[in-house]
Structure 1
């Protein structure tokens, strides 16, 4: 469950929006979310919802509203009653406002430090949580103050971003954001001041002055006041051209901006003039761009000629240390300074948070250990683009140069060995190729010595494993290493790890806008949405889509959307020139399939077979059934696939495909697995899901009619009925797919058996309509296969589903059809069950005589079949109907007959229930002595079984009996005890009834619900 108040009130269950329709329920939920984790008294809730003039029924309405919320919210987020009020305890990370505050707090720790960009990234992530005005559409009295408080927090975050960006010098990108804030808050001097500074440092001095004069005029006209001293001083500094001398806060102009006078020289001025390669720092003239000729040594080297260490010896003539705000001094004249970074992407977009982490790690002061960042993720997710973009930004901080190697860990041919890469790197650093050692460890030692006194940025792209990169690491922290891999690497030790996921929605939108233009997205948002859905957040896919638009000028956004939306052909469509999403997945998959390690080949087989189930998360147990392998072995290969980023781990312990990877896996299984193996694997999966549904149903449904099929893997371990219901909710999309798949297997009856095994879910969530859809789909398969037994059971279930929704006519029609089919197939148990359901629908429709007749027929049939206990249960149902119809004496007789059977079979739970029903009838009939005895025996049994629900009901009934005979003191004692039990165990109905009863006795029932 995810909750949102930074905009309109929003609830999402696994991505699906849930909408509370009643305004009062929406307002109450918003109030609880604002006070999450706090104790909210009933009085506080009344004050929040109605203000100073609540209605007379406000307290009762609060209980009704809370009951509605409890039905809406999942069990972990239940609104709990405590001694003095209610408490909503949310799980961490599910409320957007709490997430916003955490991000802002974390950002504040980094402001003013060397991690400014990380702070900005955190603040922008926090601000991205806002969807509009907080609590939009909530009109309760508490909402305005809350809106103002949250809005001020948002405003402060904007101001922190502005200050941090101004301090960093990147002012031009800040101007649109500050302009929008200025339009929203034209009278805020703090906004005007920051906007003016941004404009001034971006070289737009005239506009900066206009902003200050506009706010001066507004303050004078609207409020009759002058601007504050800071704004006046700022305007004067701009007019004099000495703004930099006025800014003691550390703000600097944007790169390249030179205010008219008094400006300090930019640090970049120490570099020589002249062009430099795109994205790299300009090299000093004394530093050659490549390795020195073989055998040469740097000027001033102390080692003997011919010694390979001669190329590594430091110069005797060290340069003076640079000033604090200057770049580090370049290497000595004659030393090679490699500049090997491939070209940067000029249109790189997004990844602000990851970029901040990358830069902060690589830029921190040299330390004893090497600085290393490992960026991992699936193919096409943009690992290399991110690392190269960061490397170009970092280049100036590493005057010793930049080394780059594609390790070809995943690709055509063999991965590059550390031995070969070390040979190239050593020559690039000026070590003679003729004197390189022939042992990889010796080469690594020489390489570490070459880097010991240099600041070099090393980029190791496309690594296969830790062994491949280990020898390529420097020995100290003067240099830094950036690694990309499709695997989650265990090493190097102490590295910062970034797992790159598909792009966020706003990043995808910005990237597509860069390719096709803002006008195209604005005029055809539906096609834009289809393209984004097809690309599924993969930067490579979006870049291919953009290239297709660029190279095919006759294509519109709609044309591209239609091509990408064709079923099953996205991977074929996402290709242009040498770029293809399909090919990048092939590299990862072939690396496993063609591996020399058996476990990796087994992981490739698992990947293929999981392609039969590409659209749904899969638990390890379900995957074990699909693969036909032991659970422990299955878990190992699933983890390996997740480490290789061919699968994604879910927060519930399962695994799922990225959308496009799932489509690729489906292609692999169809191309490489025999049809017989595909059918066998699907049947194992369908059987497992059907068996799991039966197990969950046994914990959630009052009656279980059919046994489960035999599964090929362990079933889920449910703690209780609530856990089983949560499984049904989580797996509902998968169960729908299972019902459809089952009808196509060699065991089509699993379709209706699975749907029929969802009765417990139907009882809890009948109003959603999901169970009805499953039953209808299963009925289509049962009819297609002429399965009369399946149709009979499904008609009964459809009758129950309609009955729960009070569609009595539809319910009756289905039940009558079920009864006819069970009679045709000779299924006595099925007939007895349907007759019991017919009794319930007749009673619901007010036809008491027909209801009792149906129950009696059901009871006699169960007796004929030898089901004595079932016949007694039906007899209890008959007693309930008679009592509901006002015939307490006849009901007493039916309950007494049922109790005799329950006692004879030693069924204490049923005996306790039967005694309570008898006591209730005796109370109605005024036979108090017998009633008290029945209540007392029932209470003893309920306490013996620790059945607290029953204990609370029995105490309440006993109190009613005392009240009716005039013993008010004993009535009070029993109602207080009933209320205490109900409060402890969350029994809302008894809690409310006992509170009302105590109030009727003149006692103070407090604010208990």
Structure 2
């Protein structure tokens, strides 16, 4: 017999109807018809089948075939209603503690009650504490709030407390069970109850093992954990084995609790575990984590009926539930005693105090609540979500219907959360309407608000929203929605360039592209645009990669975003992010050699910065720059070729090839001069001056910096001027002219602050601190180095953090504080060794000298 989904689809196509047409004719919701045709709902109610058959104008034999396909196999028609007791519910308990294999569960878990932890994960990754360079001083407190509606689970909590408070050794505890069963809620509750045992801090990390997003890689997870415990950017190794060893070392001397939420499998967490000490790791997963023989596993089952009723009462109120006991029991059964589904249903009742429970019970008593969720662990969750969305879709107000449509669109982009700006571009509306939709969905517990203007879809809800998007939104519109987000990010990126570098070499390419339509907010300063992108950083890599693999997203939108993000990454030092974005964009750049030239030229800069911290080879950087140069030369694009040569000059200088860097700079100037009115000549002169100084040719160095300053002033290129003043200030200091050095370095600091160039600001503050120390004012020097150190904790080019620590130590020593100076030098040497930075000799010599002074 043909399946109901295929049969309905065939009859609808034969009738020449769309899903919307059939919904209108039959009085069935569009969402329900989509679910029936996808096979998500296999057994509709008889009255639904009859309504569909009449709407399709089926012949009697076709009507009978549709009716037969809607019946469950092995059960007579008389038993297919919603008579109490007909659903075989006993097997639902097999996933609970009683079904655990011998020796695999925590002691006592098999006899513990199922409990009633309200389902759903807490907020995503919480913010980490900031460090002033001493990770031992950082004590993170990242646990999400305990669910206010938490009830029951007393036996499970007792088991977890015992496991997490044992007197010796590392505690590794896993909570496994079906999606939506309340693993995260229980884990957060248990973690809060033992915080007094873990004074070294508590860290929360969502590993995204299940859901629409890609799982967090071991390296990403290690990066987050190490930063949470206070390590700065350059202190975090870029290799998995090294980062794992660093985490084990850190945890060996403190008692900390790590909650790893939503793990995909044992392989995802094996690098994140301590080896010695008394720390604990609490893991939640839908998988059994069978690859972790050292872990104690608690298998979490469904709610008992009594605890489900308690959960309902805690949300809706005792009196209201007690007045309609039959309806309450019906709601529990329709929700499958799954905490997440029940919490959503109860939340709807709480938000609608005039609804009788029988009304919601009736809504839940259709085919969606009768799906066999033993065949698919998430059916109960999906049915509950369908009820909420169908209710919005069928609502009398346009606002309700817009919220239902918005939910599906929110499932389109990859990424951990949504801001109001992003939601507005997804919906192609203003921010006020987007906020209405977001808040309406929050009221139905289909979204959660992480902070003002920022929202998050739980992983199961994200999966459900993605399904709805694929079922109800055409591939063309999904691609268009994704494109609107790319254009939103690109708009901010290009505004930062236009505001800070209006005559940048990439501007002719950008202005030759179709203009960005509805690109979001307008920014008044470069810093404002960059600050907004700071808050969007986690999305940029994910959305770029998604766009590349999504048919229908224009290549120009992907290229425009990647090329427009150069200033953001260059002023922040997020080189790993930048690498991923540029390489993804190169996959669609073949048809636009000018865009490819800019990407390869930018990529060359990124690769060298990564190579300087041991994550690559300088030769790869230089090769990319030559590829970019060749592309521009092949196009006859003189401006692009000059830009590539300026970048090549910078890379050659950083690689120690000073004469080659000077030659490349002069080649760039030869191209620039006939073009006229180009402030980028200043950058060529700055690069030349830097390399001339390294070769000891001070007159040529001074001349190059003076030319750069003059050109920058002539064209009001403030960022170029800041960079020129920085180099010039250092040169004056080395020549012994402290008055001129202070003047230029203070100007550089002010201009980098105005531009919100965090890397440039950290460098200028550090060099100003060095100048004050050499001029005999070590106390002022310490102030500037300390400010630079704070910035470099978050933004670093790979080496500056070590230099700042070294310079700070010398200033401390100049005040007579040798113990603190030695501590800073040791920190710098450890970091430099881990990063395989070159030339450790000055650090080692200063450390030995101060050690002798202390002795």
The two structures have a TM-score, normalised by structure 2, of 0.51
Match in the other structure for 2:596: 791
Number of corresponding residues: 536
Return closer, same or farther for 1:125/1:722 CA change in 2, 3 Å cut-off: farther
Match in the other structure for 2:542: 734
Judge conservation of contact 2:479–2:552 (CA < 8 Å) in 1: yes
**1:619 maps to 2:424:** no
**1:373 maps to 2:314:** yes
Return closer, same or farther for 1:696/1:118 CA change in 2, 3 Å cut-off: farther
**1:349 maps to 2:296:** no
Structure 2: runs of 5+ lacking an equivalent: 1-121, 173-192, 199-298, 335-342, 612-616, 754-760, 791-800, 825-855
**1:858 maps to 2:668:** yes
**What is the aligned counterpart of 1:705 among 491, 495, 506?**
506
Return closer, same or farther for 1:403/1:710 CA change in 2, 3 Å cut-off: same
Deviation at 1:878, TM superposition (A): 0.5
Cα deviation code 1:552-582 (max 9, x no counterpart): xxxxxxxxxxxxxxxxxxxxx569xxx7665
Deviation at 1:591, TM superposition (A): 1.3
**What is the aligned counterpart of 1:872 among 674, 678, 682?**
682
How far apart are the structure 2 equivalents of 1:642 and 1:877?
Answer: 53
Judge conservation of contact 1:622–1:688 (CA < 8 Å) in 2: yes
How far apart are the structure 1 equivalents of 2:752 and 2:569?
Answer: 28
Map 1:881-900 → 2, pairs under 5 A: 881-900=691-710
Cα deviation code 1:582-632 (max 9, x no counterpart): 544433222111222221111122223334337753222112112111111
Higher relative CO (Cα under 8 Å, sequence separation at least 6) belongs to 2
How far apart are the structure 2 equivalents of 1:14 and 1:859?
Answer: 53
How far apart are the structure 1 equivalents of 2:536 and 2:351?
Answer: 44
How far apart are the structure 1 equivalents of 2:462 and 2:430?
Answer: 23
Deviation at 1:464, TM superposition (A): 5.4
How far apart are the structure 2 equivalents of 1:467 and 1:919?
Answer: 64
**1:642 maps to 2:442:** yes
Return closer, same or farther for 1:877/1:630 CA change in 2, 3 Å cut-off: same
Judge conservation of contact 2:163–2:171 (CA < 8 Å) in 1: no
Cα deviation code 1:342-380 (max 9, x no counterpart): xxxxx993669x959948xx9xxxxxxxxx63269xxxx
Match in the other structure for 1:80: 132
How far apart are the structure 1 equivalents of 2:554 and 2:166?
Answer: 49
Judge conservation of contact 2:414–2:542 (CA < 8 Å) in 1: no
SS of 1:791's equivalent?
helix
Return closer, same or farther for 1:125/1:484 CA change in 2, 3 Å cut-off: farther
Match in the other structure for 1:405: 327
Structure 1: runs of 5+ lacking an equivalent: 1-12, 17-73, 107-114, 138-149, 156-346, 363-371, 377-386, 392-397, 413-458, 473-480, 488-538, 549-572, 961-970
Deviation at 1:646, TM superposition (A): 3.2
How far apart are the structure 1 equivalents of 2:138 and 2:418?
Answer: 29
Judge conservation of contact 2:643–2:668 (CA < 8 Å) in 1: yes
Map 1:596-675 → 2, pairs under 5 A: 596-613=396-413, 617-650=417-450, 653-673=453-473
How far apart are the structure 2 equivalents of 1:642 and 1:600?
Answer: 12
Larger Rg: 1
SS of 2:132's equivalent?
strand
Cα deviation code 1:487-512 (max 9, x no counterpart): 9xxxxxxxxxxxxxxxxxxxxxxxxx
Cα deviation code 1:805-846 (max 9, x no counterpart): 232222222211111211222333321221012112323443
SS of 1:712's equivalent?
coil
Match in the other structure for 2:563: 756
Return closer, same or farther for 1:704/1:90 CA change in 2, 3 Å cut-off: farther
How far apart are the structure 2 equivalents of 1:408 and 1:823?
Answer: 74
Match in the other structure for 2:779: 976
Judge conservation of contact 1:80–1:87 (CA < 8 Å) in 2: no
Match in the other structure for 1:772: 579
Deviation at 1:720, TM superposition (A): 6.0
SS of 1:655's equivalent?
strand
**What is the aligned counterpart of 2:142 among 94, 97, 114?**
94
Match in the other structure for 1:745: 552
Deviation at 1:793, TM superposition (A): 1.8
Return closer, same or farther for 1:611/1:975 CA change in 2, 3 Å cut-off: closer
Map 1:360-759 → 2, pairs under 5 A: 373-374=314-315, 403-405=325-327, 465=349, 469-470=353-354, 544=372, 547-548=374-375, 582-613=382-413, 617-650=417-450, 653-673=453-473, 677-694=477-494, 705-706=506-507, 710-712=516-518, 714-715=520-521, 723=531, 726-740=534-548, 744-745=551-552, 747-759=554-566
How far apart are the structure 2 equivalents of 1:817 and 1:659?
Answer: 42
How far apart are the structure 1 equivalents of 2:300 and 2:128?
Answer: 41
SS of 2:418's equivalent?
coil
Deviation at 1:884, TM superposition (A): 1.4
Match in the other structure for 1:841: 651
Map 1:287-326 → 2, pairs under 5 A: none
Alpha-carbon RMSD across the aligned residues, in angstroms, is 5.5
Match in the other structure for 2:640: 830
How far apart are the structure 1 equivalents of 2:483 and 2:195?
Answer: 58
The two structures have a TM-score, normalised by structure 1, of 0.44
Deviation at 1:913, TM superposition (A): 6.1
Match in the other structure for 1:421: none
Judge conservation of contact 2:493–2:567 (CA < 8 Å) in 1: no
Map 1:104-143 → 2, pairs under 5 A: none
Deviation at 1:923, TM superposition (A): 5.5
Deviation at 1:852, TM superposition (A): 0.8
Judge conservation of contact 1:117–1:356 (CA < 8 Å) in 2: no
